Amino acid sequence: MVFYTTMDSPIGRLYLAGTERGVCRIAFDEEALRDWLVRHLGAEPGDEAGPLAEVVAQLREYFSRLRRQFDVPMDLRGTSFQRAVWREVASIPYGTTATYGEIACRLGRGGRAARAVGAAVGANPLPILVPCHRVVGAGGSLVGYGGGLSRKVWLLRLEGVAVDWEGG
């Protein structure tokens, strides 16, 4: 069974899906959520929120600056390399950033694996919970975010990171 719910947030509506094991996907649009579920689980979301109520509650606390870490079961699906990258990304403290190259080095892959790390970060199925918005390019440059750079900037500023971006 795949559970499903939505929540309104300061960065737009979020679409959440989960299994009995935990939340498995957060998307910024419903079509992206459905595509991911079909590709990775071979299923469409159900009509029930099921175990997602706690995820929604913790996300609301995060957006209200009352929560800095998440403590919800996650059903992360990906390659062993992707899961290693996501664990490393999840360890980046609130209000700080790390570069793709730094993450590659922490994983023992050397800075040349930064592109592979970037691909894994780009495949993160749980933005915000696995805070890929905290990953930046060399020298702190803002590069890519599945939800768009304006959301990345908003999340970083929420956490108190000084971001110089005028966006569009």
Q: Residue 53 burial (CB < 10 Å; 0-12/13-18/19+)?
A: exposed
Cα–Cα distance for residue pair 82/6, rounded to 1 Å? 26
Q: Which positions ≥6 away from 2 have C-beta within 8 Å?
A: 17, 18, 19, 24, 37, 41, 43, 44, 45, 46
Q: Please name the helix (run of DSSP H) or strand (run of DSSP E) that holds residue 167, with its range, or none.
A: none
C-alpha 68: how far from its chain's center? Answer: 14
Report the distance separating Cα 107 and Cα 84, nearest Å: 8
Catalytic site positions: 132
